[in-house]
Structure 1
């Protein structure tokens, strides 16, 4: 079964545009909270008199909270509804942002980032589940692509906004921005988000929950697309823990220059999303994924070779990042749609587990990176390996589909 041959079960409760806009806003809170934060990481080392490893841990804790909490956010959204879950978890996100804003020590930063990650976890879960609740097949992939285009704007502005805010107002302003973002998103959910599913509280029963996740993780129609995302998008998140220390610590950029330089990454994602929208009517979903994985694999190989053969510079690092990120925009819409399509009754849990695997890839990649003494070595080793994992997982998925 693929995303193209599943029929809709009920009419949409929100328009495509509203679903895409709210979905992008909800999904964006995760990467935006990372993008705004990364330029401040070297400054936080100095502000709290701590180590790079401790501040890298703050990002790893954010990833860990984000990934693990999705396993609860998905079933909660199935049991109590998408709207209830969104509002509840966004309140947690705002609380974590306030804790970090007024942190008296680095331990409070670590706790605040963990709580932020838990709160932000609902965004990706609810956005994907709400699309699956209302739309299927090519229509769902089109909306996911539109979410990608809108989504690119926030992370594109994030590093620049974070770098400028840091240079003018100091590190506390980074977390004040996150508080404001959380409050705006809360208001948007209160006013515009309609319920898209029929809540079923039996989904929270422990045995049902275990059975649901066991069914998903053992079904290759779900597991392999999730591993594609865990490799490709996980690499995007993992390099977020490495790039500040490579570009600021090794290449020598200022935080503001780093923030502006990250426009290459998010500009590449936006360009890839727009290119996908232009060609999607003429190409099948699998063809678009193959194009995306080709770019991502080439970008990973370029990163490996640049670290081995070239002296570190802005272009030697950011050009491979841009190439692989362009490809990721092609990978996501069809892969998400195909992975969720066979599971309409447990869309929230399926979306949550897919997000867990995706973010888990970023978490594990970032954790391994912190073990490397040299940031340049870590980015030249881990990012190519994760891109190759995505390619291999999709090849296996296509073989399984042909056999079925």
Structure 2
């Protein structure tokens, strides 16, 4: 099979759809978390674990999803993993006990892992440099719409039909995505089945891990985007249990996070030529650091309210939109021949950071304390990783 070329517009639309699988599956579910504690007669920790196992499955499975897309093609790998995602969604929707819910969420995470990996790989297959960053920025603009609507849809589904309806929505989303890939997505790489051999697989990841340009760019994303994933395990309990929002109000309130990410993506599109790559990255990281400091201080000094919690989150989200396209492009650039594996490693580190942040938050116990401790640390880790990335790039040049 030879690779084909998709238009920039079609690639952007398909890339955005694939990228949203993971965040939407997380966002649409969060309003139901306190309700699930009651429905299954379990603890907050057990329901938080349902997010953690999703993150864990998502993060680890990417390490296979990327190489499988290199070996068998982007389309075949995507369709296979989306089938797994649909099966996991059905298990969760029909779960008679919390153990089945956990299993369904794990399987969902494994299936959803293909989305972010393949969406980045198909861009790298056909574009590079500023052109690739422009496409990824447009993907970011479109990406903001899905996660923004996710909590709102989840809250409405919960109010109208109960928690099972949320997982039915995921089944529908999985089927719709599969049909889109089957009908509209071209194969953008030449499959090479030798890449899936254990020796070649280990060699590819060894090459990527040994390259600090790839590793540190992944850690930048692990800090800032990983913080978005990690805080999803805390915000429902902070805003619903401590601030007093209803699940529907929480769903609408999360529009603030996605709305500022959307605004940041639009602002970057308008300012990209004026700022350049380094200017955009530094401005974004400055905002990320400012937001992280605001989170830590507000938790310590202010009685929690919607604005004291979500205001700093909005600042971070705006900054992340400036950082993500350029640092992703930089991480994929050094090794185009194994773009799927590079995208998988970057995605793994990004999701693993979110998973570990959620685990540490669960160990701390109190969601508000965890939010004010874990999230600032991750934002500052992102800044430190960028400084290390600059050192590695200068060294390689």
TM-score (norm 1): 0.97
CA deviations 1:98-120 (Å, max 9, x no partner) are 00011110001000000000000
Work out the CA distance in 2 between the residues paired with 1:95 and 1:58: 16
Work out the CA distance in 2 between the residues paired with 1:179 and 1:240: 21
Check the 8 A contact 2:3/2:188 in 1, yes or no: no
Work out the CA distance in 1 between the residues paired with 2:388 and 2:231: 25
Work out the CA distance in 1 between the residues paired with 2:136 and 2:392: 24
Q: Residues 347-386 of structure 1: matches in 2 within 5 Å? A: 347-386=339-378
Q: Residues 257-336 of structure 1: matches in 2 within 5 Å? A: 257-336=249-328
**Partner of residue 36, structure 2:** 44
2:217 aligns with one of 220, 225, 243: 225
2:248 aligns with one of 234, 242, 256: 256
Q: Residues 98-177 of structure 1: matches in 2 within 5 Å? A: 98-177=90-169
TM-score (norm 2): 0.98
Report the secondary structure of 1:281's partner residue: helix
Unaligned segments of structure 2, at least 5 residues: none
Displacement of 1:11: 9.3
The 3 A distance-change label for structure 1 pair 11 and 98 is: closer
Check the 8 A contact 1:82/1:126 in 2, yes or no: yes
Work out the CA distance in 1 between the residues paired with 2:63 and 2:158: 34
Check the 8 A contact 1:11/1:134 in 2, yes or no: no
CA deviations 1:152-192 (Å, max 9, x no partner) are 00000001110111011100000000000000000000100
Moved over 3 A (4+): none
**Partner of residue 24, structure 2:** 32
Displacement of 1:270: 0.2
Displacement of 1:318: 0.3
Work out the CA distance in 1 between the residues paired with 2:230 and 2:260: 17
Check the 8 A contact 1:82/1:197 in 2, yes or no: yes
CA deviations 1:9-66 (Å, max 9, x no partner) are x997000010010000000010000000000000000000000000000000000000
**Partner of residue 205, structure 1:** 197
Displacement of 1:399: 2.2
Alignment length, in residue pairs? 395
CA deviations 1:210-257 (Å, max 9, x no partner) are 111111011011001000000000001100111001001111111000
**Partner of residue 3, structure 1:** none
1:97 aligns with one of 84, 89, 93: 89
Work out the CA distance in 1 between the residues paired with 2:381 and 2:4: 36
Displacement of 1:130: 0.2
Displacement of 1:205: 0.6
The farther-off stretch of 223-232 and 282-291 is 282-291
Displacement of 1:401: 2.0
Report the secondary structure of 1:311's partner residue: coil
Work out the CA distance in 2 between the residues paired with 1:101 and 1:197: 36
**Partner of residue 182, structure 2:** 190
When the two chains are superposed, the root-mean-square deviation of aligned CA atoms in Å is: 1.0
Work out the CA distance in 2 between the residues paired with 1:359 and 1:373: 21
Unaligned segments of structure 1, at least 5 residues: 1-9
1:346 aligns with one of 331, 335, 338: 338
**Partner of residue 46, structure 2:** 54
